[in-house]
């Protein structure tokens, strides 16, 4: 299969489309959409978000050193797009999209009630890269909507219907193909199958 070469571009997809909430030094809350987000460390637990300096949330996070990453769902698709193309300097995006909030526990910042998972973050490092500034945040607390837990207390990603961003489009995720480590996991032998095998050898 032939391939063509394109100029450098952000072609790492799909990406999580998250809603980031923050507060300014004077207490004004904002919410913005971030697709440049990811996991960077597991111990201590840290995540990253990249923001343009022109965004109001960028100013808020630099002032307070705190933010909340709110996982989005298919139901939050409209709000996710709206909060990415409108500025909090022009209107109250919470009110415009009917986004209810509740206070975080570890930081002075709102969390989105409709989000199935909220990650409270304290900025550990800030790195100006060019068009965007990378904020690395240590996760201080994770809040999970218990309605998305299965019978074993595990988070059910299928039930929450998470939203992802893929080269200018918002998409739903597909079916489950496997779980971590399934490629090397030994297959379970059904009870009685080993015994029947030995009997067949006689």
Q: What is the pLDDT of residue 185?
A: 87
Provide mean pLDDT across the span 148-169.
Answer: 92
d(CA 76, CA 18): 10
Looking at 65-74, 77-86, 168-177, which range is the least confident one? Answer: 168-177
pLDDT grade for 178, boundaries at 50, 70 and 90: confident
Domain count, the chain: 1
8 located within any domain: no
pLDDT grade for 135, boundaries at 50, 70 and 90: very high
Looking at 1-5, 45-49, 96-100, which range is the least confident one? Answer: 1-5
Task: Establish how many alpha carbons lie within 13 A of residue 140's alpha carbon, considering only the half-sphere containing its beta carbon.
Answer: 16
156 located within any domain: yes
69 located within any domain: yes
191 located within any domain: no
In the predicted model, is pLDDT for residue 192 greater than 90? no
72 located within any domain: yes
Q: What is the pLDDT of residue 198?
A: 57
Considering only CA atoms, which of 64, 63, 67 is closest in space to residue 19? Answer: 67
Residue 158's CATH number: 2.30.110.10
In the predicted model, is pLDDT for residue 125 greater than 70? yes
196 located within any domain: no
Provide mean pLDDT across the span 169-187.
Answer: 87
Query: pLDDT tens, 99-109?
Result: 999 999 999 99
5 located within any domain: no
Angle (CA) 165-162-105 rounded to 5° is 105
Percent of the chain with pLDDT over 90: 79
Quote the tokens at residue 172.
């739903």
In the predicted model, is pLDDT for residue 17 greater than 90? yes
d(CA 62, CA 60): 5
Taking each continuous run of H as one helix and of E as one strand, the counts in the chain are 5, 12
113 located within any domain: yes
Distances (CA, A) of 29 to 6, 42, 60, 71, 191: 40, 29, 8, 18, 58
d(CA 117, CA 170): 19
In the predicted model, is pLDDT for residue 190 greater than 80? no
Considering only CA atoms, which of 67, 68, 61 is closest in space to residue 118? Answer: 68
Q: Could you tell me the residue range of the domain that residue 66 belongs to?
A: 15-182
Considering only CA atoms, which of 157, 90, 187, 61 is closest in space to residue 69? Answer: 61
């Amino acid at each position: 299969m032939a391939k063509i070469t394109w100029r450098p571009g952000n072609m790492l997809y799909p990406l999580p489309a998250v809603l980031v909430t923050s507060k300014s030094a004077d207490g004004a809350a904002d919410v913005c959409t971030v697709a440049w987000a990811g996991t960077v460390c597991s111990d201590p637990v840290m995540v990253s978000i990249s923001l343009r300096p022109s965004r109001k949330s960028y100013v808020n996070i630099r002032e307070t050193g705190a933010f909340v990453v709110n996982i989005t769902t298919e139901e939050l698709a409209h709000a996710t797009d709206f909060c990415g193309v409108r500025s909090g300097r022009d209107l109250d995006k919470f009110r415009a999209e009917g986004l209810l909030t509740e206070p975080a526990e570890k930081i002075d910042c709102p969390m989105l009630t409709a989000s199935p998972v909220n990650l409270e973050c304290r900025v550990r490092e800030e790195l100006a890269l060019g068009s965007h500034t990378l904020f690395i945040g240590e996760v201080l607390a994770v809040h999970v909507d218990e309605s998305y837990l299965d019978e074993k207390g595990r988070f059910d990603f299928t039930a929450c219907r998470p939203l992802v961003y893929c080269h200018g489009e918002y998409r739903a995720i597909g079916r489950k193909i496997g779980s971590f480590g399934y490629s090397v996991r030994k297959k379970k032998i059904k009870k009685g199958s080993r015994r029947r095998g030995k009997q067949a050898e006689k």
